[in-house]
Structure 1
Amino acid sequence: MLKTLNILEENQEIQQIGPIINIAKPKKKPKKMRKDDYSQEDVMLEFALASQDDSSEHDEDEIERYAKAKLVISNEESVLQWWKKWSINYPTLSVLARSLLDYL
């Protein structure tokens, strides 16, 4: 162990053991942001930017699924009721349809 640390006993010759390593002081870690240092808008913006690509792909898939589906609306229910019922399968389209149908 003394050799590893380059500490020599009195009667030993000085020999270099392996390469010399510079030991630098550890870098200080950057301070973490406190909860008060960022606003709710910052968090929402970051989330919106991160999920923007995913949501546009999901919307296209939803439109394609709706266009390919052979859906039937019975005479017993209104179009608004139909969209409410199918909102689980078509969440984005149902919001759009219901907002448009509310004005009619």
Structure 2
Amino acid sequence: MAAISTGKQPTGRFSNGRIPTDFISEAFGLKPTIPAYLDPTYNIADFATGVCFASAGTGYDNATSDVLSVIPLWKEMEYYKEYQDTLRGYLGNEKANEVLGEALYLMSIGTK
């Protein structure tokens, strides 16, 4: 399900507009929307200043993701590890470690 953003473009997310992480990113002078890691239109250059691994409907319990056919939390963490390796290949170890060490990490799991 792709939502339509305020810019009338599909966001690929379960939201009809921006989500809190987008506003936080923009407040720091970064992108107005955080690109999704699995979106094939983006690459590591796009992810160097922010990336989203989220899957709507996931939870701590793997059964939740199985029932809802969404990416489980453990897989999101695997994507993050993969991203770290790719970022190190792109920026070099020292710069990538600096970026990862100074990054703001947001995790939100719960209900309305």
Shorter-chain TM-score bucket reads under 0.3
Bigger-Rg structure (1/2):
1
- Superposition TM-score, scaled by structure 1 size: 0.22
